[in-house]
Structure 1
Amino acid sequence: MAAPLGFMAAALMLGPSGRWLILLAAPLMAGLALWLALLPPDAAYLVGQWDLPLGILLRADGVARLMILATALVIGAVGLHALAEPPEKPGHAAQAETFWPLVYLMWAGANAGFLTTDLFNLYVTLEMVSLAAVALAAMGSLAAALRYFMIALLGSLAYLLGVALTVARYDTVDVILLAQVAEADLATLLALGLMTAGLLIKAALFPMHGWLPPAHAAAPAPASALLSAIAVKLGFVILVRLWFEAFAAVTGPAALHVLGGLGAAAVIYGSIQAMRQDRLKPLVAYSTVAQVGYLFLAFPLVAGTVEPSGAWAGMTLHGVAHMLAKAAMFLAAGLMLKAVAGDRIADLGGLAQAMPLTVTAFGLAVVSLMGLPPSGGFTAKFLLLSAAIEQGAFLYAGVLVIGGLLAAVYLFRALSACFAPLAGAGPDTASRGPVTGGVQAVAPLALAGLAIVMGFAGTALVDVSAIEAPWATPTVIQPEAAP
């Protein structure tokens, strides 16, 4: 948590030279994330050694370990990609300079949000990530960024009001302590409803997704990759903390099925909207709407069985696989669109020959997002599908299958366009010239490759996801006695 903040301060002081810090930050943060993932299962730290409820607990459970490791890989790769090609518009040189402090701010906020169990500190981390995300979105479209800002502000206020009601009712905002005392009264239900509504906006779950497609599609490719891979995941992780830990005794099957129903609707709606796009980046952005739906589709599957390990692992691994594959897809899409000097899918002809590494990265990302073996996306969706069939939740099972088929339709349409013969000489094709992708193609190829390799480490990743899971080994920490 501290290292990205230090890099942010250094990047602000160094100005244009701050971009070179990524050469140190990427390996350092990857090493720290790997160290965190290998810590003993009960790894936790009370900030300042203050006991709960005054202290703030940082806990490295399975979700935090995998999300922080994926965040380090994604931001490191995106940063190295941006180092080769700064995300700036003509006449906006300062944009490339401000990009780096925003990246480190988002990095610090995401890591802190994945680790902390304090609801108010989770609000602080949400604001850190949202501030960086809005500024990154503004690099592409000020109008889309302002829309994002207003909607994100509404979500933040709803979440903060829910936190205020919680502390007024229970005198604590720690997730672990709330799990021991939460009751299904009006104040608690209202607080949970407000926090959930605010976080659903942050996570861009249908029908609260309206800010996502314009912001992601208009932003520069590195910014789009961070928005899709990192920004929406923090809201989801906090919802997991609320529904399966803090208020697990309050949430009922009906409420969980509401979230599952919204997730199912997101899969279908996002897929249909992606099929209707004739431009590449909006297609990839609507794909995010659909893929986020799978995360919430898992909520009733986790709670609906005596042994939720499969559904829990499927939900967690899908979040990680989506981070890797979607970041790779946005980076590859940025290179492809730059090569054709446009954004229409119909203009992508000939790219398979002109820039094979980039198109390969895009194709590998497609494999994972569709859920084809041997990718991490396949492992995640197989676990979710197995859980749905075991529980007799055939509606959710059908959505998982249909969503994969729809993803094949819209993603293969974009991929197949790259293999089409080059169109006749026109302004776009004439200016294309010989393109290979160069060193910039390495970052999306590495991320997409990791999404595929995840499938070969399925058992190990499932075991990591179960560390300190609320259904497996609930942590009981007694608050400090009052004097």
Structure 2
Amino acid sequence: MPHSLSTQDVTTPGGLLLVLAVLVPFVGVLAGMVLGSRSAQRVALAILATGLAIAIAIADALVRSGDAVVYILGGWTPPLGIALRADGLAVIMLLAVAVVISGIGVYARADFGTPQGVREARAPLMFWLLLLAVWGSLNLVFVSGDLFTLYVALELLTFAGVPLVSLSGQPETLRSALRYLLYALFGSVLYLLGAVLLYGAYGTLDIMLLAVRVHPEPVTWAAAALMTVGLLAKTALFPLHLWLPPAHAGAPAAASAVLSGLVIKGSWFLAVRLWLDVFAGVVTLPSAQTLATLGAAAILVGNIVALRQVRLKLLIAYSTVAQIGYLFLMFPLAAGLAAAQLDSATAVNGGLLQAISHATAKAAMFMAAGLIYTTLGHDRIADLRGAARALPMTLVAFALGGASLIGLPPSGGFLAKWLLVSAAIMTAQWWWALVMFVGGLLTSAYVFIVVVRAMAPAPEGWTPKACVPYYQQVAVLALALCSFLLGMAVFCPVDVAQIGRAVVPGIGWP
């Protein structure tokens, strides 16, 4: 349920769990560095189980209390101190990331394990350390209560995500990682400049305090513009997406699943925090329309370019560019509902569901592409025949993930698009519904092409290049099923996403 700002100055029951959600993955990083790559995998898998349990405990604390979970660091309340806060939006993202990270960790055992008798290598050690670092950084993004801590979290996320691109050490992957780093640093500089402007104008960086202090004036508009553009570069929204497809081209499948499914969600979530909380009384419907226009362009351009790809992995990468666009359609829809004195939870929940369904589906699809590459020895779309016979479970997982991206019931993508279309109809912004319809048709085209070609019979006498472990296929299918069945969340008796959302006087957003 919504709460007032006055309830946020004390640590709540379960607040210490927020600290553990951030610290436990980084403790795993330190332990892995000390013990070496042979033990890093075991440490990482133990941390994954622990972190998932912590995320579930935080969700339980949120639902039980009916209010945000809060921890005041050192007992000093903002603006002198720092608060960690987890409302419904943050807790759902914590849970979703924990599930996806766990699936990726199980999948990666075959690719980044170091069996006894095998010499320790750099790539396995770095992968497990970076996987945990990404997780800890994302958790910090979700629970941070002030803009500078969020800046630190974004930088940690960047420096954990960039090396994942270049694990192979090949020159082309190093160039892709450098391009990614330059885009990310460009975004960080713009974000930090905006934070400096806000601190100079209002004397605090705490999100809850800024929500009641900021008002429409040039310095606020400048800060909003700088921070938004910086976050768009990190999220790879069109036309600032040029770093994303090359980053996936040479990255391992598990690394691509992390980058596409999770890393870009951190900067998107922060954009949601800024627009719905900090700048809720400042941003206008036309500015939200501009943001959604970029999202619509991403949907159309990303899908069209995906249709032209000859490699499966690049097709999925450009599909990510398109799917990112859906995440930004929620902004004008939420603003339109608020302007009409209606509850904007419909649009916000639609955007959140889109983020989660994309994370689970895209992680499953990238990992499925990795198994197909291992089995066939290539990922050329025109030559996928025989893949269904060799990897029936994997192809089913790919199809289920694709169905969620298309928006077929009962998938999470269907429920997300249904909520967004409903908000578009209620606010008379029908053109966004049309964009989603066209995007779904284009997505269905390339998913259909891949599935049909993979189901074609293999040439006489063909045998797989390699056999993949059964548990890898199970991990891929599990994530795909999560995405496909996410639409069942409509039967949840409690709107968890809106628990603990602040009611700020004078602001129309939730």
| TM-score bracket, shorter-length normalisation | over 0.9
Structure 1 residues 390 and 10, CA gap change in structure 2 (3 angstroms) = same
| Cα deviation code 1:321-361 (max 9, x no counterpart) | 11111111111110001111112111211111111111111
Counterparts of 2:476 and 2:201 in 1: how far apart (Å)?
47
Structure 1 residues 330 and 91, CA gap change in structure 2 (3 angstroms) = farther
Q: Percent identity at matched positions?
A: 44
Tell me which amino acid in the other structure corresponds to 2:132: Y
Pairwise mapping of residues 278-289 of structure 1 onto structure 2 (< 5 A)? 278-289=310-321
Q: Is 2:242 aligned against 1:242?
A: no
Structure 1 residues 134 and 434, CA gap change in structure 2 (3 angstroms) = closer
| Partner SS for 1:38 | helix
Pairwise mapping of residues 185-200 of structure 1 onto structure 2 (< 5 A)? 185-200=217-232
Tell me how many residue pairs correspond in the alignment.
469
Decide whether the 8 Å contact of 1:84 with 1:439 is kept in 2.
no
RMSD: 1.9
Flag structure 2 segments of 5+ consecutive residues without an equivalent.
Answer: 1-21
Tell me which of 220, 241, 244 is aligned to 1:209.
241
| Partner SS for 1:98 | helix
Flag structure 1 segments of 5+ consecutive residues without an equivalent.
Answer: 477-483
Partner residue of 1:41?
Answer: 66
Partner residue of 1:53?
Answer: 79
| Partner SS for 2:159 | helix
Decide whether the 8 Å contact of 1:356 with 1:436 is kept in 2.
no
Q: Is 2:133 aligned against 1:105?
A: yes
Decide whether the 8 Å contact of 2:417 with 2:436 is kept in 1.
yes
Partner residue of 2:16?
Answer: none
**What TM-score comes out, normalization by structure 2 length?**
0.89
Partner residue of 1:126?
Answer: 154
Decide whether the 8 Å contact of 1:281 with 1:333 is kept in 2.
yes
Partner residue of 1:7?
Answer: 28
Bigger shift: residues 260-269 or 452-461: 452-461
Deviation at 1:474, TM superposition (A): 4.3
Decide whether the 8 Å contact of 2:239 with 2:298 is kept in 1.
yes
Bigger shift: residues 64-73 or 415-424: 415-424
Partner residue of 1:297?
Answer: 329
| Cα deviation code 1:404-462 (max 9, x no counterpart) | 1111011221122110121467xxx55x2574652211111111111122112224287
Tell me which of 374, 379, 388 is aligned to 2:410.
374
Tell me which amino acid in the other structure corresponds to 2:123: Q
Decide whether the 8 Å contact of 1:162 with 1:195 is kept in 2.
yes
Partner residue of 1:407?
Answer: 443
Counterparts of 1:370 and 1:437 in 2: how far apart (Å)?
29
Structure 1 residues 271 and 44, CA gap change in structure 2 (3 angstroms) = same
Pairwise mapping of residues 16-31 of structure 1 onto structure 2 (< 5 A)? 16=37, 17-31=39-53
Deviation at 1:84, TM superposition (A): 2.2
Decide whether the 8 Å contact of 1:182 with 1:247 is kept in 2.
yes
Decide whether the 8 Å contact of 2:377 with 2:465 is kept in 1.
no
Tell me which of 430, 434, 455 is aligned to 1:394.
430
| Partner SS for 2:328 | helix
Partner residue of 2:17?
Answer: none
Pairwise mapping of residues 73-472 of structure 1 onto structure 2 (< 5 A)? 73-86=99-112, 93-140=121-168, 141-305=173-337, 306-423=342-459, 432-433=464-465, 435=467, 437-460=469-492, 463-470=495-502
Bigger shift: residues 437-446 or 281-290: 437-446
Counterparts of 1:331 and 1:81 in 2: how far apart (Å)?
8
Tell me which amino acid in the other structure corresponds to 2:161: A
| Cα deviation code 1:273-316 (max 9, x no counterpart) | 11111110010001111111001011100111122121111111
Counterparts of 1:358 and 1:164 in 2: how far apart (Å)?
48
| Partner SS for 1:304 | helix
Structure 1 residues 461 and 339, CA gap change in structure 2 (3 angstroms) = farther
Counterparts of 1:474 and 1:462 in 2: how far apart (Å)?
22
Tell me which amino acid in the other structure corresponds to 2:150: L
Partner residue of 1:479?
Answer: none
